[in-house]
Amino acid sequence: MRRLLITGGRIFTPITVLRTGSVLVEDGRIARVSDMPAAPTAGADMILNAEGLLVAPGFVDLQINGGFGHDFTQAPESIPAVAARLPQFGVTAFLPTIISAPLETYKRALEVIRAPANGAQPLGLHFEGPFLNPERAGAHDRQYLLLPDARIILEWEPLERVRMVTLAPELPGALELIGRLQRAGVTVALGHTQAAYAEAKAAFDAGARFITHLFNAMRPLHHREPGLAGAALEDPRVRVSLIVDGVHLHPAAVRMAWNLKPPKLIALVTDAMAAAGDTHPTERYGAVVVDQQTGAARLPDGTLAGSILTMDQALCNLVQMTECAPSEALQCVSTTPAAVVGWGGRKGWLKRGYDADIVLLTPELRVVGTIIAGELVYWAGEPDRLHQ
């Protein structure tokens, strides 16, 4: 039995933050969380001194299109390469996101996701499309948008490899497809949509429970027609995702969502594209032009085309924009997103029996170390904190 002992850090559970404590990991699972620093005599194979650090559940990114020069839709085979590098930003699990594309692309991605990856764990695929409204296509290529069709879903089976599908609920056949996906255990998200308030509520009643990048690529919130945004903000059944990069949303819009939704109903996502995390970024990635100063990735016509955001920066941005407690913000990058895709019983908490996916952070919320399934896969701290 392989054991890892993390001792002396402030432990986020996330019900509370302990002043100091310890976490004992055995064979990839959390065996004990204590409010007392454990003595080095615990028989651990490795002891990690986390004094002065925050010990939190690993981050879960539900919408990432690529990174480090790779694009999942163009090359699904690049998913393992990105997975290997995400831990430096605290990400321990993620949904590789395939945007609207030829149907063959989805099949290729389904084959890639079968293989285990080193680094962050792909929990399944997020298909953002092809059942989207052309009026709100954003950076999606309209030629690949389709009406909801159950025959296409059959080609994705077994559906356990698909964890989330984003669709526009106002399209013909969408409500029936929502029910079918929901019954199969797939999280149905609403996005890239012109849905009115009543159409959004009907989709919630049919089983949709998540909103893809709230406010972006949807009907604007209006006092006489609140649309999807208004319906989602008032409905306690529905979780929402936010791209908190300072480009997709004004800080006031972030604060609005924060004031109307508790942390358990907000998940931060990066919507990251190929330029995210790239150590040698270029100004252009295909048709997308990246402005490194503003952090915006846009098509030539100015349409936003994903982001270059990382999850650790999203966490810091949320705290800065809302002045919330770090413990609240941490729920939005771990506990909540894990629950969105049905992994709330294994991930997103530091709790006995849960997967030992853990991130260690400075008081400024910068990532120092990342542990996945009990293994230290990334470390940027002092070497003398580690003892074997």
In this structure, the strands spanning 54-57 and 3-11 are parallel
In 3D space, the residue among 381, 354, 377, 367 whose CA is nearest the CA of residue 13 turns out to be 354
Residue 324's identity, in one-letter code, is: C
Output phi, psi for 334, to 5 deg: -140, -70
35 carries an active-site annotation: no
Give residue for tokens 């006092």. Answer: 223
Give me the helix-helix angle, 251-260 and 227-234, nearest 10°.
40
In this structure, the strands spanning 125-128 and 239-242 are unpaired
DSSP state of 323: -
DSSP state of 12: B
Secondary structure percentages of the chain, helix, strand, coil, to 5: 30, 30, 45
Rounded CA-CA distance 179/203 in Å is: 9
Are the CB atoms for 271 and 307 separated by under 8 Å?
yes
Determine which helix (DSSP H) or strand (DSSP E) holds 233, and give its type and residue range: helix 227-234
Rounded CA-CA distance 179/385 in Å is: 50
Residue 14's identity, in one-letter code, is: P
- ∠ at Cα 176 (98, 96), nearest 5°? 15
Rounded CA-CA distance 56/332 in Å is: 12
Rounded CA-CA distance 363/117 in Å is: 30
Rounded CA-CA distance 368/366 in Å is: 6
Active-site choice (271, 312, 355, 357)? 271
Enzyme catalytic residues:
271
